[in-house]
Structure 1
Amino acid sequence: MLMPNSLAVLGDAFSGEERGRAIGTWASVGAIAGAIGPPLGGWLVETVGWRGIFLINVPVAAVAVLLALRFVKESGQGKQALDWLGAVLATAALGSLTWALTRWSAGHGSGPVTLLTAVAGAALLVVFLLHEQRRGERAMMPLSMLASKPFVGLTVATLLLYGALGGVLVLLPFMLISAVGYSPFQAGLALLPLPVGIGVASRLMGRVTAKAGPRLPLTIGPVVTGIGFALLVLVEPADGYWASVFPGVAVIALGMAGAVAPLTTAVLSSVDARHTGTASGFNSAIARTGGLIATALVGAVMPQVGTALLDTFHHAVLMFAVIAVASGVASFLTLGPSAEAKTG
């Protein structure tokens, strides 16, 4: 609810180069705020218990509500009846598919329950698409948006990039704790360069994208991110953080910094103005879906221990590196000069 609506507010309030700067600031502030998440979560797990990582959201949410009531104005784009059935169908479809992947990766294999759940999820997804087609422009996700080649390409790139990133962000701290001997707090600190790097560079990249277009940063950024994933094969218990973990995390931060703000700007520019809120919401959902699928699949790695866990981790990060590079290729092939001119 929060991410797509915040982007819809920015899309309505700014245009052109100003929109790029605004989205860059949005991504930068979000990343900097997120920098305290991993170490704070690790500290809470060690001192208060794992339930504390959920309770910390209560005061943060209260402040966010007060700020929204005080400073955020309604967009004035008009009101439309919500597509409740579409929302239920999409949620049930994604939930079923994720549950099937989770059961498979957790070692339950392709038993009757897993297969039935996967088939049900696929069937619900088809029903959702048919329902959206019937509703036309009143749909939660109007299928007419898929006529935009840049939007389709950005959707594919988002699914691949955030799927790979989500898998690494689950596996890396788990592996550091289980195989290398880090504490939860130390594992959280190990990820700190990632949000800091994104936060520092996103505002600059937002301005660059507004002027030059998204094709180049959305091609190079995912490729650099993939190189960072590949560098995580250096992680070994005998080596220190700076020699084994930091190089990969730092390069991932550099690559994601080049992709986060340009990706968001490009998505908002790839559809008509009346669909910016829907486009940002759909893209956010696709990013979360990629993370969900990756998280479900990496469950197959977690039962490993010791050397087996480390070896499996090395194979997994190489696979995620290939997926990230594929995201850059998808952007390069679908974001032509026309998409750049539209964004500029």
Structure 2
Amino acid sequence: MPDVRLASPQGKWILLTTVLGSSMALLDSTVVNVALPRIGRDLDADLAALQWTVNAYTLTLASLILLGGSLGDRLGRRKVFVVGVVWFAAASLLCGIAPNAGVLVAARALQGVGGALLTPGSLALIQASFHPDDRGRAVGLWSGFGGVGAAVGPFVGGWLVDGPGWRWVFLLNVPLALLCAPIAVRHVPESTDSRTHGRFDVLGAVLGAAALALVTYALIEARSGTLVVVVSAVAGLAAAVAFVYVEKRRPDPMMPLDIFASRQFTAVNLVTLCVYAAFGGFFFLAALQLQVAVGYSALGAGTALLPTTAMMLLLSARSGELAHRIGPRIPLTVGPLLCAAGMLLMLRVGPGASYVTDVLPALLVLGLGMVALVAPLTATVLGSVSTARAGLASGINNAAARAAGLIAVAALPLITGMGEEAYRSPAAFDAAFGRSMVVCAVVLVAGAAVAFATVRKPPPGCRTPECLTHGSVLAPPLEGERARGRLS
């Protein structure tokens, strides 16, 4: 039984290293959007390259996060966590010195692999190391510090872009890793899960990643209309079908399909796909809109977006408690509708817009919607399956959210007619941004309709503090007990 006490020196070191590790991945997923205009200008990159700068990271992270958790359970959580930290830092260094957009995109894909290793591992280390009496408080502190990091991420990113330059958005991870990895090796006890068995579901992971990669490529490059795009789309769909076939037939798949026999679990994941597709598209385009069309600096754009994550950090606990009393149906219906209203209010944000009268009201309404739905969504996912499968359910929900954001970033510019050079023209980008907000609002309304029609059973409440204190806007939190995939 784990016996490290939170008040002990070792307990404080464990908390520090897990916060540092998770913050690296969390910050990187929020600060890069703010740097995109400067990256595009310095590397002479078109819109497709900027989409890949975001999506290459999300692609590998979403595809491998379940497998990353399984590796930690089998090979050693500390070992895999340290490997993830070092891998992430090395990829960040490559991002920081990238001479062109192609190298940057490849390095971002490598970053996502490191993120898939360290993200589930940071929380698993807390669960495996601390005494049961201190575990809840340790997870709560981990989550709170992570939420603060998520909230200040765009501000830090903007400051770095306007100051030493966008490359420092990535290079900052190197000293963090140099601090984090030695602390983990020295102070964190190793742990494994004795219940794991068999081989890893590598085939499932490869097929899932191939499906996402090929479909994403087809959407981003669809403007060219070449045969390669058509072949990629067909191959991506074939890989998705093969993934389902393999997962259905393997004895212990990475994503056992029988978990979707729960109507509640399936319904909430459909809601997740809708809302996080809209969030992914919004936060990709909003940072660009504020800089390209409104004329903000990178720091100004990052600071402008702070209200949404700050509201989630401050109010999510109360939202979770309210959903526990009244059930999830109302929050999961009203939340997306509020978010849709916030995105429609963003139609007022264009050249000459005022922050106080145009930008802030939209972000406050959006933030209220996110507060209303994120904690109840997480609690409902955990309440829709047995306790033994809570970690698996949370991992699937987290991966689904990231995949939804991935597809949204790839598809929105295509759907709304955003040209390759649109981000260089304030007028052209503003027009496409307005169309994108309408599309995002429609998707959110669809998510609200799904929730209203299908969500019924009230959740038993959040099982761990991290689903109450949450600052990430791009994916729901991982469940604290065992946020991992299965072995095969």
Q: What number of residue pairs does the alignment pair up?
A: 333
- Equivalent position SS for 1:177: helix
Rounded to whole Å, the distance in 2 between the matches of 1:146 and 1:293 is 22
- Structure 2: give runs of 5+ residues left out of the alignment: 1-115, 130-134, 463-488
Rounded to whole Å, the distance in 1 between the matches of 2:330 and 2:139 is 18
Taking the TM superposition and a 5 Å limit, the aligned residue runs for 1:1-344 are 1=116, 2=118, 29-61=145-177, 66=183, 78-80=195-197, 81-104=199-222, 107-108=223-224, 110-136=225-251, 138-300=252-414, 301=418, 303-304=421-422, 305-336=425-456, 339-340=457-458, 342-343=460-461
Q: What letter matches 1:51 in structure 2?
A: R
Q: Does the 8 Å contact 1:195/1:253 carry over to 2?
A: yes
Rounded to whole Å, the distance in 2 between the matches of 1:68 and 1:276 is 29
Rounded to whole Å, the distance in 1 between the matches of 2:149 and 2:244 is 36
Change (3 A) 1:132 1:68: farther
User: Highest relative contact order (Cα 8 Å, sep 6+), 1 or 2?
Assistant: 1
Q: Does the 8 Å contact 2:321/2:461 carry over to 1?
A: no
Query: Equivalent residue for 2:74?
Result: none
Q: Does the 8 Å contact 2:381/2:393 carry over to 1?
A: yes
- Equivalent position SS for 2:196: coil
Change (3 A) 1:318 1:143: same
Aligned CA-pair RMSD? 2.9
Q: Does the 8 Å contact 1:232/1:317 carry over to 2?
A: yes
CA deviation after TM superposition for structure 1 residue 10, in Å: 9.1
Q: Does the 8 Å contact 2:275/2:336 carry over to 1?
A: yes
CA deviation after TM superposition for structure 1 residue 234, in Å: 1.1
Change (3 A) 1:64 1:134: farther
Rounded to whole Å, the distance in 2 between the matches of 1:215 and 1:293 is 26
Relative to the length of structure 2, the TM-score reads: 0.62
CA deviation after TM superposition for structure 1 residue 29, in Å: 4.6
Rounded to whole Å, the distance in 1 between the matches of 2:453 and 2:189 is 37
Higher helix share: 1
CA deviation after TM superposition for structure 1 residue 33, in Å: 1.6
Q: Deviations over 1:70-128 (max 9, x none)?
A: 57996857213421111111111111111111112xx32x3211111111111111111
Q: Deviations over 1:196-222 (max 9, x none)?
A: 011001122222333433222111111
Q: Does the 8 Å contact 2:332/2:372 carry over to 1?
A: yes
Change (3 A) 1:268 1:53: same
Q: Deviations over 1:107-150 (max 9, x none)?
A: 32x321111111111111111111101114x1100010111111
The sequence identity of aligned pairs, in percent, is 39
